[in-house]
Amino acid sequence: MSGYANWVALRTIVTKEVLRFSRIWIQTILPPVITMGLYFIIFGGLIGSRIGEMEGIRYMDFIVPGLIMMAVITNSYSNVVSSFYSAKFQRHLEEMLVSPVPNYLIILGFVAGGICRGLAVGVAVTLISMIFSPLSIHNLAITLSVVLLTATLFALAGLINGVFARSFDDISIVPTFILTPLTYLGGVFYSITLLPEFWQGASMLNPILYMVNAFRYGFLGVADIGLATSYGIIIGFVVLLYGVALFLLNKGVGIRN
């Protein structure tokens, strides 16, 4: 395929993915925004008023970056896993695979759709957060790059989950038993400096911790982990998951039965 044909194919997949979640925004965008709003009220307003400060920062301000990142992670992941599995279930993924469209473009199309939904929800949650906390961005470049890389990472993870899923129940196993616990233990609501030494070390095994901390640095200029380490972990996972996703698609895993 020519470069223009590749561009048309990619644009078509991305457009389909964006229209898919934007047409039902009451189901895809509004619920996570309401959920995060409740987090702001309960954790930031009610509990946060008793905690006071975290690392010298007002608790409400401290949790805002983490809650935004939580929304981006869950929505970029869930968009791709549900969309990719639906494409398998409805059998039109096979049509894409036998077409001249390269597999890497199929991956990029689905991932771009996940990124768009993750960022859309992230922007909406950011606007809601401004009701409770004044918007303050310490470094815009770090903030945007981290949120984009994180959305890419979890969109790829969602695609891999979709490859292996054999039923609609399978697409909820990873978010429920792996993604949600890792997110809550990823420093969204606390600084790991509060933990005992052993649990600080254990927390370092959680990749979401690096994303939350890098994003918090972009907002507030404070982090428990160095930026170079955080970027290295995030980019490393993006490259690894992209390689795995491309390998699985090339081999037809979960598709050629």
- Give the model's pLDDT for residue 121: 96
pTM of the model: 0.93
Strand, coil or helix: what is 51? helix
pLDDT reading at 206 higher than 80: yes
Write the pLDDT tens digit of every residue in 66-79.
Answer: 999 999 999 999 99
According to DSSP, the β-strands at 53-54 and 57-58 are antiparallel
Of 27, 31, 114, 35, give the one whose Cα is nearest residue 77. 114
- Give the model's pLDDT for residue 249: 92
DSSP string, 212-229: HHHHHHHHHS--SS-HHH
Structure confidence at residue 52 as a pLDDT band (50, 70, 90): confident
Q: How far apart are CA 6 and CA 15, in angstroms?
A: 14
Write the pLDDT tens digit of every residue in 134-180.
Answer: 888 999 999 999 999 999 999 999 999 999 988 888 888 888 888 88
Domain ranges, ordered by start, for the chain: 3-251
**No. of H helices and E strands in the chain?**
13, 2
Write the pLDDT tens digit of every residue in 9-28.
Answer: 899 999 999 999 999 999 99
